[in-house]
Structure 1
Amino acid sequence: MDDIEKVIAACHHDPAAVLGAHFGTPDSDQVTVRTYQPDALRVEFVHNGQSRDMQRIGTSGMFSIIVPQAVLSDRRLPPFTYQFKVHFPGQPISLTNDPYRFAVQLGELDRHLFSQGTNYRIYEHLGAHCTEVEHVSGVIFRVWAPNAKGVSVIGNFNSWDHRIHQMRVIGSSGIWEIFIPHLGRDEIYKFSVLTKQGERIDKSDPFQFYGELRPATGSIIHSTNNFNWTDNLWQQQKTRTSPYPSPMIVYEVHPGSWQRDPAAPDRFFTFLELADKLIPYVKHMGFTHIELLPVMEHPLDESWGYQVAAPFSLTSRYGTPEEFQEFVNRAHASNIGVILDWVPAHFPKDAHSLGNFDGTALYEHADHRRGSHPQWGTYIYNYGRREVSNYLISNALFWIEKYHIDGLRVDAVASMLYLDYARDDGDWLPNRYGGKENLEAIEFLRHLNSIVYEKHPNCLMIAEESTSFYGVSRPADHGGLGFGFKWNMGWMNDILDYFSRDPVHRKYHHNNLTFSLMYAFSENFILPLSHDEVVHGKRSMLNKMFGDRWQKFANQRLLFLFMWMHPGKKLIFMGMEFGQWNEWYCKRSLDWHLLDDACHRQLQTYVQELNGFYLENSGIWERDFDHEGFSWLDFHDRDNSVISFARFGRDRDNHLICILNFTPNRLDNYQLGLVSNQKYRIIFSSDQEKYGGTGRCDCETLISPIPAPGGGADYHASLTIPPLGGLVLKPEGQQSINIQHTQ
């Protein structure tokens, strides 16, 4: 098959070697111009306002003309300026520039860095980008498909015909490129890939910035560069403020089900609508951050966004990229950070997605024992392939830099770290040392975190990691994975098990309350009560609590107080703050009507005021990751199911004392240890009447120390501890602060 036949068959690796303008010999004074227009009746060559008919070659739609160089005003070697007039049956004559008269635009350095896995802004080059080449506006398309036999861009602009806009591969990079003049924003397109086996498959753009609403799967030409950001003050404050000694209470949200329009419950709110509703609510409630379940494009609603088909694309469910940028901008204006759930662990097997992209296992491992996830029915990224690692790292930076995201919560890290994760014996391949650790994934995570923190030092890189893998939140150059934070799944499992139990039996499970302090400072922990705990038959958070209706609400308040006073940053899922009874369902709004009930309103008020209390008292959060910030007073009283401890700020005089009673029995004349021989005031009680409690232990009560050992300390006080309730005391004279959250 000669070159012209390959172009006609759409299987040429460099169609520009045939199409466009070409000299015959070095001494030739003629230029041959060819174009392939399969359905055209006639094609005219246009130069300097003069038109000449081109000759049809056979019946294939290949047209050619030989132009004497003397006719050309520009006597240099091609490219030179010319157009085609194309006559299609029943259509107006179209005047178009030839895509094949433009030289390759991607530089050698960018190609080299991508092949080395270090082109961290490769998203600026691959994909579809509106640009101008030689004073002609259009769109430049690039895609990585090293094993493809041919690649074309298809869309409405060429009637989805893969023969029209065939791409050229650039050297040995595996990157295919074409500049298509006259195209612009909002055109729908795909890549049509011819595999070496002769199969033609149509793929969405791995670097698309926007796409069609499911079930359609076309990519849409879009830019993320045009938004006018006004969050400079927030960015400056973030640069100056370390997140580790700062307050953090995260409100985890699924954008499609936080609220829906009562008049159209099947319709998602857009991010502009969420900016109007969600951001003021989060601000009013006192949360410092919103964490969004994945907002990248995904085919299946029920995956909650975790089966990401297009990692660079904002899902069209919730509006446009500009609307999401406006959402983030307005969150920052309200001093609220935005964290995204990010999914580098796996991707779906939908035909239009990344799997088998060029007819081979390109983004995934070829061997199913490494490349396919048995639990989720998805593909696993091949982290050892430099271009794949580059793809993911540049994607993380893309969300941080183009959408001003303040942090990424990395999903399912444990599944990345272990080759035998969710696999039976014999269904996984050991690493080169015979172990089960995924060495390529470990190196990828270290590389990822090192680059993110190098470029954005105070970004929040958070690992959802459920094992005891060493050093998840330790620097990569100190043997860790390099994350800033890790979810404390052990605390979460222990505490939920404890609160599900009858208080009569809780004394036999006292270690569930205390064990987390054995390892609380081994990582930079976030305490999570996430969406995963209120689905699939696990019951809602309120419904997990033991007891009758009053006890459930009291237990919920007590759990939150313990969580807020425990070392570590905080995260709860939407609906927990007002006592959602039903499990969360991604296609239905939260049950906001419950706020018509006094108990639910009181719980919501409790969370709001607990957040305010937390923000005002830096002793709770300044030393979250330092064992000097916590001291047990008494953790031995399992018979009464009572614990007490102190939290310290940077200045040890800035401290609080917390005592918690996990039984429905009021405890009178209980000895509470005190850190110093000074008067203390009760500044917070989970049992206040306005929260739905008994109101028998009032705030503002002044407690005088007894200068004798008791309650696990050198000084103590005798006081009443409310049923299923907790108290927080502060030395008299210590002032709360008026915190302005900046991170």
Structure 2
Amino acid sequence: MSKSIPTLVANDPWLEPYTDHIRWRMQQLDERLQSIQQQAGSLENYASRHLNHGIHLNGDQSAWIIREWAPAAHSVSLVGDFNQWNPEATPLSRDQQGGWQTELPKKLIKHKELIKLHIVGADGSVRDRIPATILRCVQDSKTHDYSGQVWSPETAYTWKHSFDPATIKAPTIYEAHVGMAGEAPRLHSYREFAEQVLPRIAELGYNTIQLMAVQEHPYYGSFGYHVSSFFAPCSRFGTPDELKYLIDTAHGLGIAVLLDIVHSHAVKNIAEGLNDFDGSGNQYFHAGDRGNQPQWDSKCFDYGKSEVQQFLLSNVRYWLEEFHFDGFRFDGITSMLYHHHGTVAFDHYDKYFLDGPDEDAILYLGLATTLAKQIQPGALLIAEDMSGMPGLCRPAKEGGVGFTHRLAMGIPDYWIKLLKHKQDEDWKPEEMWGVMTNRRYGEANIAYAESHDQALVGDKTIAFRLMDQDMYWHMSIDDQHGGIERGIALHKLIRLFTLVSGGEGWLNFMGNEFGHPEWLDFPREGNDWSYHYCRRQWSLVDNPELRYQYLNAFDGSMMNLTEKYQLLQSPPAKLLYVHNDDQILAAERAGLIFVFNFNPHQSFPDYLIPVDDEGPYKIVLNSDSAAHGGHRRIDPSIIPQTNAETQLPLYIPSRCCLVLKKWE
């Protein structure tokens, strides 16, 4: 083992006691990559299970090759429309590695025909199962049962736009769910999203979309996080080609598209998913209690098993190559990283290295990020981790795991706590700044004030916490309601404050930019399977008589400012001034001066803000402007000038934020 000091340790002296362990992790990854190289020739070749398992046409397109991994099964046969679902008609033969295979003439099975595997398991169970790497699943509208569908169109999708995610220097992410992206109370489609929602996202200025619920999942209300078929785009929203059309259209608008990929667990359903596939109880997942994720009522992959590694790595390759995704947001990886699934307090570095980490999962994630960057060097790889594992977002060669960004999950939790438990008068900007800026040096964060988590029924978005049911009655532009005035002002302050100080990227959930007034509630038995709360009411923001337009305009101004001044790829914000009693804070980032007044009552004339450079300054963003639904208390033509002490005298209205730039 090399005795050189890993860069990760050199950059963080607190990691010195764990130097040997970090070296060991690096060695494990190197040795596994070498083993894969010897076995398959390359990591990319190794990640090819989707190309040689499932159902595919052979090289000369003359025959179907059906192959499946089910090592403990007693027998496997193919059933479907083509053989009247007869389990005796089309048996597969077993090889020595636990694979099952058969070959059928091309004319026997047609595009879009339904199929399953009839498996007699190790435990004597007899079940019809969906092939593990099936490329499409469909649900019967009457029985609600899922089947695999042969997907082999005569004409492949023709891509119109090329796109390099390396052009995205700092992601501004619009988190979206296709099914609920329209206003009508129903399911919406990939094509509708491409034609009706993408233009809105582009107009606001976001450069990245994160698509949720793409991998097939049997229960719509799981938000896509209980995946059953990992290679199948969700058929609720359309065909695979229609998903490609969505991504292609986004690329034509200069927008990267990320897949919210779920490798942290899988649905436990036997009929639709991988659970107990060969009757052994532990084919893809750990045996016994270790194979269960009790918080999510789901199954945990055995990341130490080579076939499972190969299955999941192939999934990474498939989405990047087949659908031209530009990267991933890896869901729920805290559950992967630790045997306890992250249910402890991470109050000591031992928790990351000695007390509970799942080294098999950490190794798998290192392989996954390595593969993704080999296929697409500019791929964006975002980790949803609340533990703060050191090195998660540093390159493997430095001792890290290889992600490019992590979600700043503590920030939305902080805003909820503040809004629930403290009066406006008790907000302390110094404390707020400390929470926003508390992140690991050198590991890029995606800052966000709220995501889909806060929009779900049982929780509340920031807008709804601020204004609640008053939003139903007092959002007219000529209704001067105090609660609405407060809510609109603080909504803007909270979002800009988080954007400026919280990280190196930004995330917003669909509709939150304009303060969507209602929670999300999927159709379920408890609401009579209603879609009423499972949609986005764009008519609210489009209505010129309502105030939602102002929040939307401010969000667009934030995105424009971010892009114009390259705000998020600039070094972290520097605190210039804070006064807790006045509730004033000023910071500098990307050469801009950001001034926040959280005071609910007091406006300050000629308030002195220290800045680094003397001279005149011009306001480039003002939350109190008419366009942003403010009270127009600031004259935009005034150009403040620093005094002899390089202080900038400003009129700072209550509940207002200003952005200034040195005026040349």
Question: Which TM-score band (shorter chain)?
Answer: 0.7 to 0.9
| Counterpart residue number, 2:98 | 174
| Counterpart residue number, 2:130 | 204
| Counterpart residue number, 2:478 | none
Mapped contact 1:115–1:387 kept (Cα < 8 A): no
1:589 aligns with 2:535: yes
1:622 aligns with 2:569: yes
Distance in 1 (CA, whole Å) between partners of 2:562 and 2:294 is 42
| Counterpart residue number, 1:48 | none
For the residue of structure 1 that corresponds to 2:592, the secondary structure is strand
- Which blocks of at least 5 consecutive residues in structure 1 are unaligned? 1-108, 649-654, 709-714, 734-743
Mapping for residues 632-651 of structure 1, pairs under 5 Å: 632-635=575-578, 637-648=579-590
Mapped contact 2:424–2:599 kept (Cα < 8 A): yes
Of 71, 79, 84, which residue of structure 2 is paired with 1:154? Answer: 79
- The structure whose residues are more often strand, as a share, is 1
1:328 aligns with 2:256: no
- TM-aligned CA deviation for residue 453 of structure 1: 1.3
For the residue of structure 1 that corresponds to 2:406, the secondary structure is strand
- TM-aligned CA deviation for residue 110 of structure 1: 12
| Counterpart residue number, 2:12 | none
| Counterpart residue number, 1:549 | 484
Paired AA for residue 90 in structure 2: H
Distance in 2 (CA, whole Å) between partners of 1:111 and 1:585 is 50
Of 584, 588, 602, which residue of structure 1 is paired with 2:550? Answer: 602
Distance in 2 (CA, whole Å) between partners of 1:557 and 1:201 is 55
- TM-aligned CA deviation for residue 544 of structure 1: 2.2
Mapped contact 1:684–1:699 kept (Cα < 8 A): no
Of 504, 525, 542, which residue of structure 2 is paired with 1:568? Answer: 504
For residues 176 and 698 of structure 1, do their structure 2 counterparts lie closer, same or farther at Cα, with a shift above 3 Å needed? farther
- TM-aligned CA deviation for residue 248 of structure 1: 2.3
Mapping for residues 239-254 of structure 1, pairs under 5 Å: 239=166, 241=167, 243=168, 246-254=169-177
Paired AA for residue 382 in structure 2: I
- TM-aligned CA deviation for residue 166 of structure 1: 0.5
1:231 aligns with 2:178: no
Paired AA for residue 568 in structure 2: W
For the residue of structure 2 that corresponds to 1:313, the secondary structure is strand
Distance in 2 (CA, whole Å) between partners of 1:610 and 1:368 is 50
For residues 472 and 434 of structure 1, do their structure 2 counterparts lie closer, same or farther at Cα, with a shift above 3 Å needed? closer
Distance in 1 (CA, whole Å) between partners of 2:342 and 2:662 is 51
For the residue of structure 2 that corresponds to 1:283, the secondary structure is helix
Mapping for residues 277-288 of structure 1, pairs under 5 Å: 277-288=196-207
- TM-aligned CA deviation for residue 362 of structure 1: 4.0
Paired AA for residue 643 in structure 1: L
Distance in 1 (CA, whole Å) between partners of 2:139 and 2:447 is 35
Paired AA for residue 175 in structure 1: G
For the residue of structure 2 that corresponds to 1:256, the secondary structure is helix
Paired AA for residue 155 in structure 1: G
For residues 487 and 116 of structure 1, do their structure 2 counterparts lie closer, same or farther at Cα, with a shift above 3 Å needed? closer
Of 139, 161, 164, which residue of structure 1 is paired with 2:64? Answer: 139
For the residue of structure 1 that corresponds to 2:425, the secondary structure is coil
1:221 aligns with 2:146: no
Which of the two has higher C-alpha Rg?
Answer: 1
Mapped contact 1:393–1:448 kept (Cα < 8 A): yes
- TM-aligned CA deviation for residue 645 of structure 1: 0.8
Mapping for residues 64-213 of structure 1, pairs under 5 Å: 113=40, 119-131=46-58, 137-170=62-95, 172-181=96-105, 182=107, 183-213=109-139
Paired AA for residue 141 in structure 1: I
For residues 357 and 112 of structure 1, do their structure 2 counterparts lie closer, same or farther at Cα, with a shift above 3 Å needed? farther
| Counterpart residue number, 2:234 | 315
Distance in 1 (CA, whole Å) between partners of 2:181 and 2:551 is 18
- TM-aligned CA deviation for residue 593 of structure 1: 3.7
- TM-aligned CA deviation for residue 469 of structure 1: 1.2
% identical equivalent positions: 26
| Counterpart residue number, 2:270 | 351
Distance in 2 (CA, whole Å) between partners of 1:226 and 1:210 is 15
Paired AA for residue 158 in structure 2: N
| Counterpart residue number, 2:526 | none
1:457 aligns with 2:372: no
- Which blocks of at least 5 consecutive residues in structure 2 are unaligned? 1-35, 468-481, 523-530
- The structure whose residues are more often helix, as a share, is 2
Distance in 1 (CA, whole Å) between partners of 2:283 and 2:597 is 53
For residues 356 and 112 of structure 1, do their structure 2 counterparts lie closer, same or farther at Cα, with a shift above 3 Å needed? farther
For residues 192 and 376 of structure 1, do their structure 2 counterparts lie closer, same or farther at Cα, with a shift above 3 Å needed? same
| Counterpart residue number, 1:539 | 460
- TM-aligned CA deviation for residue 422 of structure 1: 6.4
For residues 700 and 454 of structure 1, do their structure 2 counterparts lie closer, same or farther at Cα, with a shift above 3 Å needed? farther
- TM-aligned CA deviation for residue 495 of structure 1: 3.3
Distance in 2 (CA, whole Å) between partners of 1:703 and 1:146 is 75
Mapped contact 1:363–1:381 kept (Cα < 8 A): no
Mapped contact 1:374–1:423 kept (Cα < 8 A): no
- TM-aligned CA deviation for residue 228 of structure 1: 0.8
Distance in 2 (CA, whole Å) between partners of 1:593 and 1:681 is 35
For residues 485 and 422 of structure 1, do their structure 2 counterparts lie closer, same or farther at Cα, with a shift above 3 Å needed? closer
Paired AA for residue 525 in structure 1: N
Mapped contact 1:257–1:585 kept (Cα < 8 A): no
Larger RCO (alpha carbons 8 Å, 6+ apart): 2
For the residue of structure 1 that corresponds to 2:547, the secondary structure is helix
| Counterpart residue number, 1:258 | 181
Q: What TM-score do the two structures reach when normalised by structure 1?
A: 0.75
- TM-aligned CA deviation for residue 467 of structure 1: 1.1
Is the deviation greater in 112-121 or in 676-685?
112-121
RMSD (Å) for aligned C-alpha atoms: 2.6
Paired AA for residue 630 in structure 1: A
For the residue of structure 2 that corresponds to 1:515, the secondary structure is helix
